[in-house]
Structure 1
């Protein structure tokens, strides 16, 4: 059995390598510009929690992605004669999204580091800034220079230039990496870290909108290859790169970044800070709740059906199918859900264009199905073998025995375990935020970034999750009581 499972995993790995290596878009001649013009859209990947580059505002109850980078993207799309489409993703997911064709370009305050240049192409630099260190204002006197950070916790977003700069130029500091700018600021304000390194424009924006913070010059040294921000494109996109560079040249020649785009971003920042109450952002939480419930319901129904199918197969007479079902369950249970979500979205997305919401629901169903199959299989095994013998003596077929005798008793046996798995599934929906699904945790991060408040959005999300799980627990307890009551009446 172990040998078979090993072979299956090896075949899956080879298939994935084959999919990537045989991707037609990777081998075709440069049609990057023609493809964008033909479809009429330029898809911009961005992580909208980095003011003033890109962030979200709550304008008249509607969520809107704005910022300097968005304005640049609009001008590029206008020059190309196409429509700009902005796709939200976590910063860590941007490069995979570009390489798998989910986005046409990354415009998200990204620095063209040598490591990144190995996997993607970059346009000309469109904006250059220094690196600043954010501190709690009352700690300003404690850090007169960079040497004062020795032994202290200095944080940055993982995968960013700032993260690498801390590692190389503050080797004696305790490096802390986080995936969200909002979490970085929250960690700083709650004294989980001592300092946060960010680009000067973003650090200044946070300091201006939060009187408890201050931004100081980091005096970091950057090479010419790292200095500034550029737009990332898929390898071999020479034609699209040249066209975008022409737009960037025009933008820089007219000085629009300083004279227009940064000023526009500043006005939008005032929209967010005008009312930072959680009631003002109730629409964000309601939208997140809607998607959380949708994913959870699909996961519960789809996972239950898949789990039942897998459990029946494992009791079947067809040995190869039993082995495949066992291998599937072991593989899914042996890999993290987050990795599975990214594989469905980015890996399978090479062959079929799957949107983020669909990919998240598919991954949740596939994952929950494996766990539920084990619960169902255990329940079937717990049914008294005499029940099968009695059914056979009455002339019932195997299918009829399973449907009318085994499964009803199995449901009563496994009901508490099913309830626990369903509650875990609801909480697992938070994982899909990594691919940009606007469920509750994703919306929580947006509210944190927009309002510069860290704890209040977390408290609201906790209450919402608790209410959902509490209601589900009550519902499950009600039906468990009915099952037990019905069984007592039958025995009586």
Structure 2
């Protein structure tokens, strides 16, 4: 008996020591203190999901509003810090969280078991049913999941709705896109027969578009999958606990139903009244500005590095030649989108202060380098070997030969191809919108979200891109003509 009592005493003693240690460890994980020290709470969201999060125009500036933004602001106020919102694609949010680009994610996100393996979640702050958005003309045809048999269903990639459609509508084709606005456009144009989304969001789109209607198809949803919660990095217990205190406060005061949802409704109603595209010309102007900044800087560094790698590939030094070949082939063999995400989320995980704009410029510049290097190499190799031999026989060094004989002639030969690369760069720079760079495509998506119009902003963006590329082609053509007469 004494032995058993001794063992019981030891177990209780160890537990008594271990539990406070666990609590202290959780309280001092550093995440909460880091937010307070930096004075900002950086929040990741996908602002195309009314009434959870969407955009409005106030005094010519973009403002992120909605239920989730009100909760995020309340949380930031309770911590005594400034709220900073980063808008990006929904399926990039958890990557941004895991690479510490944001402190938390609030975007109508469901705390599914799969997500809980990678990140920690707060308590559920709001629950809504899973609905379908359909064209009003199809209301008599579609009532339940079974009535959609052999139809095409749209859902946001990475969302609970995408999983539900995949699991419970196996006789259907599923079309996944990153932006709900694009899915609604697909619905209106007949590319999909319905779009799965949460009830508040479906009702929001239906109320602001007379041709759409929201229905409840009766998805079967597990209790652990429903509801929206805030996502935090794995192990950020101090932030989770602080967020839970804010959520408890919000629920006790019933702020969601009394204040946040009605406020979101007012913003949406205001958007509907003033959703003329002309009211958003400043968005497109800002998009043009950032697109040109990315293009100009990327052209400069892409050309400079392209010359370097072209000379390295032509070098007799085997190491330089091998490095140039390896770099050029690797870059040309991988998509630009993947490169942009790697620079921002991969390298950015090491250099956490790396801004999205800088990451975008670096990725686009490095991508352009590979193509420019090949264009320049082909131009240099097109010059007859006799030109080099003649220059060297006159006593010119290899450096002077390249500078005054080879490069000028090669540049004249490759100018059309080089110009085409620069024009392509304007269009390809649009890919940086996936990491939240406010280029033309990013601004176009904001206008879509704010006006509930899908096709018109796309058409305007197309015209703007055409004007920019056509203008550049004329400038390049002018210099090409000057070279021919030189």
CA distance in structure 2 between the aligned counterparts of 1:378 and 1:270, rounded to whole angstroms: 58
Could you tell me which residue of structure 2 aligns to residue 146 of structure 1? 145
Query: What do residues 3-38 of structure 1 show as CA deviations (whole Å, max 9, x unaligned)?
Result: xxxxxxxxxxxxxxxxxxxxxxxxx97111111111
Query: 1:317 is paired with a residue of what secondary structure?
Result: coil
- The 8 Å contact of residues 143 and 217 in structure 2, kept in 1 or not, is answered as no
Could you tell me which residue of structure 1 aligns to residue 384 of structure 2? 384
Could you tell me which residue of structure 2 aligns to residue 240 of structure 1? 239
Could you tell me which residue of structure 1 aligns to residue 405 of structure 2? 405
Query: 1:154 is paired with a residue of what secondary structure?
Result: strand
Could you tell me which residue of structure 2 aligns to residue 470 of structure 1? 470
Could you tell me which residue of structure 1 aligns to residue 447 of structure 2? 447
Could you tell me which residue of structure 2 aligns to residue 306 of structure 1? 305
CA distance in structure 2 between the aligned counterparts of 1:185 and 1:103, rounded to whole angstroms: 28
- The 8 Å contact of residues 136 and 214 in structure 1, kept in 2 or not, is answered as yes
Higher Rg: 2
Query: 1:121 is paired with a residue of what secondary structure?
Result: strand
CA distance in structure 2 between the aligned counterparts of 1:272 and 1:327, rounded to whole angstroms: 51
Q: Any residues of structure 2 matched to 1:410-489 within 5 Å, and which?
A: 410-486=410-486
The Cα shift of 1:318 comes to 2.2
Query: What do residues 129-178 of structure 1 show as CA deviations (whole Å, max 9, x unaligned)?
Result: 00111011011111132111111111110000000010111111111101
The Cα shift of 1:375 comes to 0.5
Query: 2:278 is paired with a residue of what secondary structure?
Result: coil
Could you tell me which residue of structure 2 aligns to residue 117 of structure 1? 116
The Cα shift of 1:65 comes to 0.8
CA distance in structure 1 between the aligned counterparts of 2:165 and 2:314, rounded to whole angstroms: 56
The Cα shift of 1:88 comes to 1.2
The Cα shift of 1:40 comes to 1.4
Query: 2:279 is paired with a residue of what secondary structure?
Result: coil
- State yes or no: 1:157 paired with 2:156: yes
The Cα shift of 1:442 comes to 1.0
The Cα shift of 1:39 comes to 1.2
CA distance in structure 2 between the aligned counterparts of 1:473 and 1:34, rounded to whole angstroms: 53
Could you tell me which residue of structure 1 aligns to residue 340 of structure 2? 341
CA distance in structure 1 between the aligned counterparts of 2:177 and 2:122, rounded to whole angstroms: 27
- The 8 Å contact of residues 145 and 219 in structure 2, kept in 1 or not, is answered as no
Query: What do residues 77-109 of structure 1 show as CA deviations (whole Å, max 9, x unaligned)?
Result: 111121111111111111111011110000111
The Cα shift of 1:386 comes to 0.9
Q: Any residues of structure 2 matched to 1:171-210 within 5 Å, and which?
A: 171-210=170-209
- The 8 Å contact of residues 143 and 215 in structure 2, kept in 1 or not, is answered as no
Which 10-residue stretch deviates more, 254-263 or 82-91?
82-91
CA distance in structure 2 between the aligned counterparts of 1:449 and 1:65, rounded to whole angstroms: 11
Query: 1:111 is paired with a residue of what secondary structure?
Result: coil
Could you tell me which residue of structure 1 aligns to residue 354 of structure 2? 354
- State yes or no: 1:316 paired with 2:283: no
CA distance in structure 2 between the aligned counterparts of 1:79 and 1:326, rounded to whole angstroms: 55
- The 8 Å contact of residues 58 and 271 in structure 1, kept in 2 or not, is answered as no
Query: 1:279 is paired with a residue of what secondary structure?
Result: helix
Query: 2:139 is paired with a residue of what secondary structure?
Result: helix
**Structure 1 gaps, min length 5:** 1-27, 487-492
CA distance in structure 2 between the aligned counterparts of 1:78 and 1:466, rounded to whole angstroms: 45
- State yes or no: 1:131 paired with 2:130: yes
Alignment length (residue pairs):
459
CA distance in structure 1 between the aligned counterparts of 2:311 and 2:41, rounded to whole angstroms: 47
CA distance in structure 2 between the aligned counterparts of 1:88 and 1:167, rounded to whole angstroms: 27
Query: What do residues 25-83 of structure 1 show as CA deviations (whole Å, max 9, x unaligned)?
Result: xxx97111111111111111111111111111112322111111111011111111211
CA distance in structure 1 between the aligned counterparts of 2:28 and 2:342, rounded to whole angstroms: 27
CA distance in structure 2 between the aligned counterparts of 1:453 and 1:350, rounded to whole angstroms: 36
Could you tell me which residue of structure 2 aligns to residue 250 of structure 1? 249
Query: What do residues 218-269 of structure 1 show as CA deviations (whole Å, max 9, x unaligned)?
Result: 3111112111000000000111111110110010111000100011111111
- The 8 Å contact of residues 50 and 202 in structure 1, kept in 2 or not, is answered as yes
Q: CA RMSD in A?
A: 1.1
Query: What do residues 446-471 of structure 1 show as CA deviations (whole Å, max 9, x unaligned)?
Result: 11111111111011000000011111
CA distance in structure 1 between the aligned counterparts of 2:146 and 2:350, rounded to whole angstroms: 51
The Cα shift of 1:384 comes to 1.1
Query: 1:141 is paired with a residue of what secondary structure?
Result: coil
CA distance in structure 1 between the aligned counterparts of 2:463 and 2:143, rounded to whole angstroms: 42
TM-score relative to the length of structure 2: 0.93
Could you tell me which residue of structure 2 aligns to residue 85 of structure 1? 84
Query: 1:56 is paired with a residue of what secondary structure?
Result: strand
Query: 2:277 is paired with a residue of what secondary structure?
Result: coil
- The 8 Å contact of residues 59 and 271 in structure 1, kept in 2 or not, is answered as no
TM-score relative to the length of structure 1: 0.92
Could you tell me which residue of structure 1 aligns to residue 224 of structure 2? 225
- The 8 Å contact of residues 49 and 180 in structure 2, kept in 1 or not, is answered as yes
**Structure 2 gaps, min length 5:** 1-26
